[in-house]
Amino acid sequence: SGSIRLKHIPRPSMKVCVFGDQHHLDEAAAGNIPAMSADDLKKLNKQKKLIKKLAKSYDAFIASESLIKQIPRILGPGLNKAGKFPSVVTHGESLQSKSDEIRATVKFQMKK
């Protein structure tokens, strides 16, 4: 299994959600990208059904580097099991370019 980044975006309608600190939440709001803060994630309270619902409602996730270490602690293994563990975004990168990069990346799996 692996992933390849393409030059064009094969799935422009792919839904990406941001788990971010205040800086990224503001940037996401400006770019019209759905976002959740750490407090919003804590409200899910490790309830498996809610986390599964969250994983199903988005195709991919992006997380601030300040939050990335806390995500397994806050959400448990739900996102990892769904194969949608968030990609890291730093303050130097723009959320729009990062979400476009994720939309242009295709995951594949080889069969024997």
Q: Using one digit for the tens of pLDDT, what is the confidence trace for 12-38? A: 888 888 888 888 888 888 888 888 888
DSSP 93: S
What is the C-alpha to C-alpha distance for residues 55 and 76, in angstroms, rounded to an integer? Answer: 12
Element (H, E) at 35: strand 35-36
18 residue type, one letter: V
> How many other C-beta atoms lie within 10 A of the C-beta of residue 88?
13
Strands 87-89 and 2-5: unpaired
For the domain that residue 79 is a member of, what is the CATH number?
Answer: 3.40.50.790
- Residues of the domain holding 39: 2-108
What is the C-alpha to C-alpha distance for residues 97 and 104, in angstroms, rounded to an integer? Answer: 10
Q: Are 69 and 85 in contact (CB under 8 A)?
A: no
Predicted TM-score (pTM) of this structure:
0.80
pLDDT tens profile 34-77: 888 888 888 887 778 888 888 888 888 888 888 888 888 888 78
Phi, psi of 66 (to 5 degrees): -70, -25
pLDDT tier, 79 (very low <50, low <70, confident <90, very high otherwise):
confident
